[in-house]
């Protein structure tokens, strides 16, 4: 049995190169313990294992963030997971030539299941907070670059967001819709 199979369950999503990863959870009378990253395990699985920046966001119920990405040459692989509350997580394929170009997939991330989404380059990411307060952790393979930071309009690809009156930043409301987006991403 490989190191990876011992620590994590990995499932290919319908978006090529995007995976849902569920780590092994160790529970006892004190609570739980979860290993969310192991360099050699990620490398063995063929996943990016050099993350250079990590940050988190805290969002109130009904907040939608996204759909975000960084453009080349600062595009990055991202791993996201929720350590408090629950989020409706979304990825959208922006890679020209990909058989899933323009398609999206949704996931529910929460602290109980400890599941993560591995997001390759060329994929937009967003989420909606489902709980009163949600904390989402992000690991990225490149450093945040304001000049390469971008997005597409949150409601332009047909996602059925679970918020009747979403709270969205002016920045996110101002992104280009998907149909008008000129993608710089190519399928590898």
Q: Which of 78, 79, 85 is nearest to 113 (CA)?
A: 85
Given 68, 76, 118, 125, the catalytic residue: 68
Q: What integer pLDDT is reported at residue 5 of this predicted model?
A: 58
CB count within 10 Å of CB 24 equals 12
CB count within 10 Å of CB 74 equals 16
Query: pTM score > 0.85 for this model?
Result: yes
Given 76, 81, 118, 138, the catalytic residue: 138
Q: Which of 66, 62, 59 is nearest to 84 (CA)?
A: 59
Could you list the mean pLDDT of each consecutive 10-residue stretch along the chain, which spans 188 residues?
A: 68 95 91 88 90 97 98 97 98 97 97 96 98 97 96 97 97 97 88
Note if 144 is an active site residue.
no
Note if 38 is an active site residue.
no
């Amino acid at each position: 049995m490989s190191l990876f199979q011992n620590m994590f369950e990995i499932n290919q999503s319908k978006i090529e190169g995007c995976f849902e990863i569920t780590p092994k959870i160790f529970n006892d009378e004190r609570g739980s313990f979860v290993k969310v990253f192991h360099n050699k395990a990620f490398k063995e699985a063929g996943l990016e294992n050099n993350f250079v920046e990590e940050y988190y966001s805290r969002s109130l119920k009904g907040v939608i963030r996204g759909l975000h990405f960084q453009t080349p040459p600062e595009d990055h692989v991202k791993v996201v997971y929720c350590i408090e509350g629950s989020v409706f997580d979304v990825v959208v394929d922006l890679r020209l030539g990909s058989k899933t170009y323009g398609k999206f997939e949704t996931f529910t991330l929460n602290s109980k299941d400890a599941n993560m989404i591995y997001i390759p380059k060329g994929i937009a990411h967003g989420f909606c907070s489902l709980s009163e307060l949600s904390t989402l952790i992000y690991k990225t393979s490149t450093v945040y670059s304001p000049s390469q930071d971008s997005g597409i309009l949150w409601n332009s690809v047909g996602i059925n967001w679970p918020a009747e009156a979403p709270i969205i930043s002016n920045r996110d409301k101002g992104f280009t819709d998907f149909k008008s987006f000129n993608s710089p991403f190519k399928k590898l």
